[in-house]
């Protein structure tokens, strides 16, 4: 996760505002939207992990990523990245401090069933890599 954060930061460091509005494919999210989505997901899944660690028998609330995206339509690309980076750094710091037993803490999700904090950690890492590849495609345009 730390490496992905750094790679995204280096990738977008020289981008102008119009670069953040480019899409890697027709009908897909812009770079700004991808960064917004990354920030939102870090907040949501980080909160899920914290709730699971602090709340016995925690049941996660699902969310609709497209509805969440519509709420952040005015957030700029650089601000979206800053929000992502801050939330991700908080999550990484927490995750690195967890014991094996804490990582095994269970939670449930109405759509995904039984999960663990460790599942959330791996989901976030894979999610970042998935969207890093899309941002790299935009950088090549």
pLDDT for 76 equals: 96
Q: Which residues of 43-74 are buried (b: 16+ CB within 10 A; e: fewer)?
A: bbbbebbbebeeeeebebeeeeeeeebeebee
Structure pTM? 0.96
45 vs 122: CA distance, rounded Å: 11
Ramachandran area for residue 27 (φ above 0: left; ψ -120 to 50: alpha; else beta): left
Domain membership of residue 64 (yes or no) is yes
Write out pLDDT tens, residues 124-136. Answer: 999 999 999 999 9
DSSP state of 16: -
Domain membership of residue 116 (yes or no) is yes
pLDDT for 123 equals: 97
Two structure tokens written together for 85 = 């980076």
pLDDT for 93 equals: 97
Q: How many domains does the chain have?
A: 1
Q: From residue 65, how far is each of 13, 58, 69, 127 by CA, in Å?
A: 26, 21, 6, 13
pLDDT for 37 equals: 98
Query: What average pLDDT does the segment 104-125 reach?
Result: 97
pLDDT for 114 equals: 98
Two structure tokens written together for 65 = 């990523």
Q: Residue 106 contacts by C-beta under 8 Å, 6 or more apart in sequence?
A: 52, 114, 115, 116
Residue 58 sits at φ, ψ, to 5 deg, of: -65, 135
pLDDT for 60 equals: 98
Domain containing 50 equals 42-139
Q: What is the CATH number of the domain that holds 95?
A: 1.20.120.450
Per-residue pLDDT band for 67 (boundaries 50, 70, 90) equals: very high
SS3 at position 106: strand
Write out pLDDT tens, residues 32-50. Answer: 999 999 999 999 999 999 9
Write out pLDDT tens, residues 68-107. Answer: 999 999 999 999 999 999 999 999 999 999 999 999 999 9
């Amino acid at each position: 996760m730390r490496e992905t954060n750094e790679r995204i930061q280096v990738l977008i460091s020289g981008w102008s505002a119009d670069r953040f509005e480019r899409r890697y494919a027709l009908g897909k999210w812009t770079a700004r939207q991808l960064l917004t989505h990354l920030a939102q997901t870090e907040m949501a899944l980080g909160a899920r992990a914290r709730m699971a660690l602090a709340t016995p028998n925690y049941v996660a609330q699902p969310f609709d990523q497209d509805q969440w995206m519509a709420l952040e339509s005015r957030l700029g690309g650089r601000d979206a990245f800053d929000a992502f980076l801050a939330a991700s750094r908080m999550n990484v710091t927490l995750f690195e401090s967890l014991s094996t037993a804490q990582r095994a803490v269970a939670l449930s999700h109405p759509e995904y069933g039984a999960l663990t904090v460790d599942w959330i950690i791996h989901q976030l890492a894979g999610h970042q890599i998935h969207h890093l590849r899309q941002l790299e495609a935009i950088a090549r345009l």
